[in-house]
Amino acid sequence: MALKQYLQFKLSQKLSPQQIQLMKLIQLPTQAFEQRLKQELEENPALDTGKEETRDDNFDEFDNTTDDLNDNDTIDADDINIDEYLSDDEIPEYRTQANNYSADDEEKSIPYAAGTSFTQHLINQLNTFRLSDQEEEIAYFLVGSVDESGYIRRSLSDITDDLAFTQNVYTTEEEVEKVLQIVHQLDPAGVAARNLQECLSIQLHRKEQNPDIELATAIIDKAFEQFTKKHYKKLMQKFNINEEQLKDAIEEIERLNPKPGGSYAGNNKIVEHIVPDFAIKIVDGELELTLNGRNAPELHVSREYNNMLKGYKDSKERSKAQKDAVMFIKQKLDAAKWFIEAVRQRQQTLFVTMSSIMNYQKEYFLTGDERKLRPMILKDIADEIEMDVSTISRVANSKYVDTPYGTKLIKEFFSESMTNDQGEEVSTREIKKILETVIEEENKKKPLTDEALSKILKEKGYPIARRTVAKYREQLDIPVARLRKEL
């Protein structure tokens, strides 16, 4: 077979590094954007923030309209037009812009107190027990196996094997079980339980006994499955009790803590705070949208780098070291220009997209009634502002807006549509809200089945099948009718 050469024309579309950088910045929420900005400032000495600029304003500023230059390997230092990187303006551009944001937008660090960890809290209690050396090692290992909820999620056989392999402690499951009973005496009550049944049982056995506690203990120890499935008639028959007695016992069980680890007051887990990326206010009956000021930093090129270029331009003799230096400066200036432009485009894209979403859902933002939410998909907004669907998705993902009705995740405003009995397009969020209201108002002694809920929604003008009701109910994290039953 002979080898042949031929020409082929091919049309392809590729994203430039600048476009990729912009897409990555758009999808970042405010806090992540601040971290990315901090990283860029550390990595690029040519980039500076306007917050710290208190010196004389009379210096040359980098011109953001500079044309893109080619890669360094195809450019010589003498080919760089230094004038393109310098501006004759006495006042830099960022000095002429005003950001009317509150001082509250400034980043503030939140101090938090250091204290005793949950594990250390349990170990401190263990030190009050008289244990042999081996029992002490087993007890410490068991305490170290307790998770944040207060449970030990591993079998005794696995723990026994791990003790042998990692701690060089050779023991039996029986001895581990014996030490575990000692660990169960630690506070909070129910800690180190292997499952929910054991956790509730430990708490009930440590309570002061009375008829209600004794009955609740018997239910958990001997009829836990019937209790979880709310087979109340079977429980009354099994223990030969009436409905009132069963109700009192269930009330005792409901007072217990299913996650004892979460109740530890000394748990210093840092709380993650949500920083809204946008704010919507109602002013004189009209909606007003603002972008979080932390998304609009004042960026410019360092004066020192401008002076370096001026020095190179004015010098008559240019050594190889100077040429290498100016190539490095060119790289950093290009990177600074691209980043500043990407930040500017990010601000514009975020504001335009959120403004479109706000106008699309105007009735909801004015009233706060979720039934006023219009059906809206990403393509609706993309078509309106003439952007790609992927861009809208990046803006909506993991970003929040502060509204008069609380802080909301933006992607929650997007929902599919369905047609009601009058032929109108309604949002599935509206249907879910009505479904949630119907379930809240039902008779808890005889909760409505999915079939009954489907009939009620049809009467209200929403022809929905039973399986669709079940899907919406699961999305709302509402259990089936049997598990909603109350005495």
Give the position of tokens 């206010």: 281
User: 84 pLDDT band (50/70/90 cuts)?
Assistant: low
Phi, psi of 189 (to 5 degrees): -60, 135
Instruction: Map out the domains of the chain with their CATH numbers.
Output: 118-263 (no CATH), 418-484 (1.10.10.60)
DSSP state for residue 48 in the 8-state scheme: E
C-alpha distances (whole Å) from 170 to each of 12, 134, 155, 173 are 66, 9, 16, 10
**Which pLDDT belongs to residue 422?**
64
Residue 159 has pLDDT above 50, yes or no: yes
pLDDT digits (tens, 9 = 90+) for 266-275: 555 555 577 8
**Which pLDDT belongs to residue 233?**
85
Residue 376 has pLDDT above 80, yes or no: yes
Tell me the β-bridge partners of 287.
Answer: 282
Segment 141-167 mean pLDDT: 86
- Token readout for 8 is 């082929």
Rounded CA gap, 319 and 203, in Å?
81
Any residues with CB less than 8 A from the CB of 268 and at least 6 apart, and which? 112, 113, 114, 115, 117
- Which H or E run includes 282? strand 278-283
CA-based max dimension of the chain: 106
User: 71 pLDDT band (50/70/90 cuts)?
Assistant: very low
**Which pLDDT belongs to residue 439?**
87
Rounded CA gap, 257 and 247, in Å?
18
Closest to 347 (Cα-Cα) out of 55, 22, 98, 122: 22
Q: What percent of the chain has pLDDT over 90?
A: 2
- Token readout for 228 is 């979880």
Rounded CA gap, 410 and 428, in Å?
16
Residue 378: half-sphere exposure toward Cβ, Cα within 13 Å? 12
pLDDT digits (tens, 9 = 90+) for 1-22: 678 888 888 777 666 677 777 7
- Token readout for 120 is 């250390």
Residue 95 has pLDDT above 50, yes or no: no
pLDDT digits (tens, 9 = 90+) for 99-120: 444 444 444 555 555 556 788 8
**Which pLDDT belongs to residue 437?**
85
Q: Is 368 left (phi over 0), alpha (psi -120 to 50) or beta?
A: left
**Which pLDDT belongs to residue 21?**
74
Whether the CB-CB separation of 306 and 47 falls below 8 Å is answered with no
Closest to 131 (Cα-Cα) out of 170, 175, 77, 100: 175
- Token readout for 349 is 């894209």
Segment 164-183 mean pLDDT: 86
Single-letter residue type at 468? T
Whether the CB-CB separation of 166 and 219 falls below 8 Å is answered with no
Q: What is the mean pLDDT of the chain?
A: 77
Residue 374 has pLDDT above 50, yes or no: yes
| Residue 184 or 8, more confident | 184
pLDDT digits (tens, 9 = 90+) for 225-245: 888 888 888 888 888 888 888
DSSP state for residue 151 in the 8-state scheme: B
Residue 336: half-sphere exposure toward Cβ, Cα within 13 Å? 29
Segment 359-370 mean pLDDT: 87
Any residues with CB less than 8 A from the CB of 347 and at least 6 apart, and which? 291, 295, 296
Whether the CB-CB separation of 237 and 217 falls below 8 Å is answered with no
- Token readout for 92 is 């830099």
